[in-house]
Chains A and B, each alone.
Chain A
Amino acid sequence: MEQFTQLISFVFGSAKGIALLLLAAPLISFVLLFFIKSRKLVNLVSISSISISLLAALYLLKISVDGNTFSLSTPWLTVGNIHIDFSIHIDIVSVLMLTLVSIVAIMVLVFSTEYMRNESRYSIFFGYISLFVFAMFGLLISRNLFWMYLFWELVGFCSYLLIGFYTQKQSAILANKKAFIINRIGDLGFLAGLMLLLSSLGTLDLYELATRIQEHGLFVSIADQQLIHYAGYAFFIAVIAKSAQFPLHIWLPDAMEGPTPVSALIHAATMVIAGVYLLLQIYFLLDPTVLNFIAIIGSFTAFLGAFIAGRQYDLKKILAYSTISQLGYMVMAVGVAAPMAAFYHLYTHAFFKAALFLAAGSIIHRIHTQDIREMSGVRRLLPITFVVYLISAAALVGIPFFSGFFSKEAILNETWHWAQLHGNIYLLVPFFAFAGVMLTAYYVFRHVSLMFFGEQKKIESSIKKEHCAISVPLIVLSTGSLFMYPLYEEVHELAYMPYITISLMSIGFVFAYLLIYKKVVALLPATHLFNRLDTNVSSGLGNVVVYFAKYISWFDQYIVDGFVNFLGNLGVVLSGVAAWLDKYIIDASVNFIGNGTQKVGDIVRRSQTGKVQSYFAFSALLLVVIIWFFMRGI
């Protein structure tokens, strides 16, 4: 009893205890959900446990907002010279992330109570989500890279389970396998990074790494510096896979086969940003060459994702490519040495993208299609969804006074500043970033107009409007897109940047309007000028855009994805060759030795005829041979 009260006083009496409580709550919920079948109880347990985590996170936020950081560390294992502790750290970045994850998770769970209503494996779904939240919390507060790796893979495993939640759906189980295997390639990078750091700095603890780099700075030998340099690349491979960067982004669009709330939570707001978070944590290890590489990959991904999104007709795929593009911006921001700008965008993006996905879920739930060509006039059918979608999409595009505007502006300012310092080929980085802004406006305008405007299609359904379990999360998340600008102080602010971005957005809107809207929906009376523009400019420029997007999409599907598939097939072919070798060469030689012995035995046995004459003949022959042998020697 005394121990119990001690435990209670530890948990509630200190910030460390609160942090452990935050971590434990979703895990307890996961375990409990194995035994609970009643849906109300499932809702109660899962939502309240993460609410406890949210309260804990808010408490920690209150403490750490003043710049307090604290950590907790207990020995976990010692092998030879490797010491690994179980250690957690709480600082403002990790606490903000914890808060973010808990808010989005609660909203997604509330949403799922309605969205997954007809699912027979209801409690399992909520259990998986709880496990995921636990793993994500663990990833965020780990102070040791080894533990971070543990949770890094655990979130991937939860993602695997949830993408393939509909186990009967062939496309879903192919998608989750693909997602896991591609993430596994990234894991190799992580593992290699761990080995390189162990070999050079001898520890995996983030604090110790930081102090060793600071204290020894110049004393780190050249060879070890080289290893740390490679470690930067190795960890970036992990980031490429987890945060869906070119060329390993291909798993994310496929991952949309999972239930939509999962896409909102895992594949938009939380798990995919783990890569960016990792970059923030190991930022001090990255040298300029690695950062430049990161910036290039990030900016190209930002551009590529936006481009492909403009070609898609599947609503969730559009959002997936949009996520890829936005993650590209974050990664690019880290690359241009603006990690806080990346974090800012990560934060705003999590809210508006989760809102967009949930709104998409609301639409899919209502009209049972994901194809935007089969939707139109949804705004009358789902008014709240429409408003939420509009607000969040505005934040996504970066329209002034919405959250995305501020964060994207911060990134673009830093990028521009960085590019001017570097010059030359590095000017491509802001070019891609700006092109991405335009294309974002384009694809958002395109799909929003197709979905929400125009004639309302006849849909027979008994549900009149959004269920409150759907509308409340949408409203909560979209408010995040409205008020989120005082977070960041810009370092390199450029006065003319808003004008550039706004004009780029406008160009994007006009393209979209001319190309898609006019052709397909024809809402406004067409003027002569617009007709001319439509036929000439849009069919000219627009076709270029369309074709190029088509090529990029083709490239994505056949070259990038194809290469990965090729590697997969190559593995299968090689394994075939290996199996052939195994059977006909290695095994056959073994059998040959076996059979050979038998054959020799047979021959020898046949010589045992039992006739004295043949023995004599044989002996005589042998004698001749021996004599000849000795004579030769003389």
Chain B
Amino acid sequence: MSLLSLLIFIPIVGMLLVAVLPKSYAPVYKFITTGIAVFQVLLAGYLYAHFEKNAVFQFVEQTNWIHLNIGSLGDLQIDYFVGMDGISAALVLLSSIVMLMASLSSFEIKENLKGYFILFNLMNLAIMGVFLSLDFFLFYVFYELMLLPLYFLIGMWGGANREYASIKFFLYTLFGSVFMLLVMVGLYFSVKDPITGAHTFNMLHMMNPANYQADGFFSYASNSQLYGIPTRFIAFIVLFIGFAIKVPMVPFHTWLPDAHVEAPTPISIVLAGILLKVGAYGIIRICYGIFPDAAIHYSYYIGLMGMISIIYGALNALNAKDLKRLIAYSSVSHMGFVLIGIASLTTEGLNGALYQLFSHGILSTMLFFLVGVLYYRVQDRDLANFRGLSLQMPKFTVFVVIAFFASLGLPGMSGFIGEAFSLFGAFLSESTNGMLPRWMAIVSTLGIVLGAAYFLWALQRMFFGEKKFKDKSWEVALKDLTFREYLVLIPLAAITILLGIFPSYLFDWSNASVSVLINDALVNGYIYLHQYFLIAS
């Protein structure tokens, strides 16, 4: 078994152990899960360290999975095909770190431990699979597999309004996946494996225009249309909306505040730390990788929506009364930078977007964990109910200050590099490829001021000033950090500061793959667009 498969399937061991061990061993479940997560961090770290920076796909593993002869339609060929490139390398590392922190945070879960940890491990498996699959079918399986445990984890272990939140989350994301299934099947029948000649789900083949059949539904040459719009454009839009819901992009974001507010702390961490990244990863790998023509065509609007998300999310965060809701909206704002970076179709912008994904993963984990610390102690997180927390919990406040300032983009911490390079890319776009006008980048910078405003305002209202809480008993309940909480917060704070000072530890890994992707996207995309507009005129 190769290393990537080990990384993906090791949680099965955890699932089995938790399932087999009797209820009397319940306190051990969390240690098993954490142990698995630690192993994954080490393995992901090993893979990251041994990643060849100038090559593209590595640690590749490809075997036949499902081969069926289905009569007149030919052979059904689905491969188990996994691999890692510069785009997924950092995200895999991030996922393993976030899962470790989430499992440490799961120590607070008190009820129905067996179910919780089985689902948690299942989710872990699916997440790793999504980032490493290079076969569309496999990707789809993992993608759907990820939703199921999340639905139950929110719906059963969440807050007061959890059922509403979980169903909303499920419907929203399911909406996206249904269309993905259609596009996937359409792509399957348009693409042929150049060696075997059979139809294939291989995403790398889908990225190469030469592999498309001349008469395929989604092929470059056939110029098939639906309602006067090229089918490839429709496929792009449909997939994009599916992923944009995950990102989330305004106006498809309203599941996020509810899901975050109702979810238990570890699940909030997974949602913000990983799930949002899956959306962005899907846009980069699938939308931009397979449909570069449509990507070029729609980049302006995607950049625009990114800009709107930045401002709109920040304004909503400014108005939030609940700390968790504030952070949820700040995620909307921060993911807007990712969108604008991707839409710029420049190496700088896409690298910046990937950096922002990693940085936001670490920071949102830290932020949601910090809210969890408060909520665990007093079951409250209204901004208005706390005053002068810095006097009550000084060490906690230190980490809050680090997390807030890193999130609002203070240079020297990771948030800044991601935002800055996404914006650099967006700004350079006009003079390099003409995707986005300069004013989009300039307007987006307003998000940086608003970011400072809502974070500092929250800091001022909750943490500074005279000590005053809603309830007198809170003065006893609000104890400073415990050892386990340090164990989560110190590494996260260290990562955000180290990455802020040494950003090349991410950029050097992603640079080569991103250049290839951008180059292919521009070349292939323009070839098709020329054809299309020649036919149209």
B-contacting residues of A (Cβ < 8 Å)? 76-82, 149-154, 157, 164, 167-168, 170, 173-174, 177, 180-181, 184-185, 187-188, 191-192, 194-196, 198-199, 568, 571-572, 574-576, 578-579, 582, 586-587, 590, 594
Contacts and interface: CB of A to CB of B under 8 A. Distances in A.
B391 A167 contact: yes
A124 to B, nearest CB: 10
Interface string B305-337: 000000010011111100000000000000000
A126 to B, nearest CB: 17
Given A153-B410, A188-B446, A199-B427, A576 B352 contact: no
Interface stretch (B178-186, B197-205, B234-242, B456-464): B456-464
Contact of B448 (A164, A187, A594): A187
B388 A168 contact: yes
21 contacts: A77-B504, A77-B507, A78-B511, A79-B348, A80-B347, A80-B511, A81-B348, A82-B348, A150-B412, A157-B405, A164-B464, A173-B460, A173-B465, A180-B452, A181-B453, A195-B423, A199-B428, A571-B450, A572-B319, A578-B316, A586-B251
A17 to B, nearest CB: 20
B390 interface: yes
B346 interface: yes
Given A177-B457, A571-B453, A578-B315, A192 B445 contact: yes
Given A184-B448, A192-B442, A198 B319 contact: no
Contacts of B45: none
Given A79-B351, A167-B390, A576-B319, A154 B411 contact: yes
Interface string B376-405: 000000000000101100000000000001
B415 to A, nearest CB: 12
B424 interface: yes
A586 B256 CA distance: 13
A80 B465 contact: no
Contacts of B391: 167-168
Interface string B462-473: 011111000000
Interface residue SS majority, chain A: helix
A154 B465 contact: no
A579 B313 CA distance: 10
Given A150-B411, A575-B319, A76 B456 contact: no
Nearest to A597: B171
B401 to A, nearest CB: 8
Given A76-B503, A199-B427, 16 more contacts: A77-B503, A78-B511, A79-B352, A79-B421, A80-B346, A82-B348, A167-B388, A167-B391, A167-B465, A168-B467, A177-B460, A180-B452, A180-B456, A188-B448, A578-B316, A594-B168
Contact of A173 (B441, B442, B464, B507): B464
A78 to B, nearest CB: 7
Residue from B411, B428, B431, B466 with most neighbouring chain A CB atoms (10 Å): B411
Interface in B7-44: none
A80 B315 contact: no
B348 A80 contact: yes
Nearest first, the 9 closest Cβ-Cβ pairs linking A and B are: A80-B347, A575-B319, A150-B411, A575-B315, A195-B427, A173-B464, A575-B318, A80-B348, A578-B315
Contacts of B405: 157
Contact of B315 (A177, A191, A571): A571
A81 B507 CA distance: 12
B527 interface: no
A152 B391 CA distance: 29
A575 B172 CA distance: 24
A579 B424 contact: no
A582 B316 contact: yes
Contacts of B446: 188
B348 A184 contact: no
Interface residue SS majority, chain B: helix
Interface in B412-435: 412, 416, 420-421, 423-425, 427-428, 430-431
Residue from A149, A150, A174 with most neighbouring chain B CB atoms (10 Å): A150
Residue from A81, A152, A177, A185 with most neighbouring chain B CB atoms (10 Å): A177
Nearest to B254: A587
A185 B466 CA distance: 29
B279 to A, nearest CB: 18
Given A80-B348, A167-B391, A594 B427 contact: no
B464 A167 contact: yes
Contacts of B464: 164, 167-168, 173
A167 B465 CA distance: 6
B511 A79 contact: yes
A192 B446 CA distance: 11
A572 B318 CA distance: 7
Nearest to A82: B348
Contacts of B320: 579
B515 interface: yes
Contacts of B390: 167
Given A173-B460, A192-B445, A578 B412 contact: no
A575 B448 CA distance: 15
Contacts of B416: 150, 153
B449 interface: yes
Contact of B452 (A151, A154, A184, A579): A184
A358 B442 CA distance: 41
A184 B507 contact: no
A81 B514 CA distance: 13
B384 to A, nearest CB: 15
Nearest to A587: B254
A247 B130 CA distance: 52
A579 B514 CA distance: 37
Contacts of A170: 465-466
A572 B450 CA distance: 10
A78 B504 contact: yes
Nearest to B442: A192
A576 B446 CA distance: 18
Given A77-B507, A181-B456, A198 B428 contact: yes
A149 B420 CA distance: 11
A88 to B, nearest CB: 15
Given A199-B431, A590-B254, A79 B318 contact: no
Contacts of A578: 312, 315-316, 319
A80 to B, nearest CB: 3
A195 B391 CA distance: 41
B457 A195 contact: no
A82 B445 contact: no
Residue from B172, B405, B424, B467 with most neighbouring chain A CB atoms (10 Å): B424
A572 B465 CA distance: 21
Contacts of B411: 149-154
B465 A168 contact: yes
A152 to B, nearest CB: 8
B452 A80 contact: no
B424 A195 contact: yes
Contacts of A575: 315-319
Residue from A152, A181, A191, A198 with most neighbouring chain B CB atoms (10 Å): A191
Nearest to A149: B411
A184 B460 contact: no
B351 A579 contact: no
B53 to A, nearest CB: 11
A199 B448 CA distance: 21
B445 A574 contact: no
A571 B456 CA distance: 14
A173 B316 CA distance: 23
Contact of B319 (A187, A195, A579): A579
A195 B441 contact: yes
Interface in B480-506: 503-504
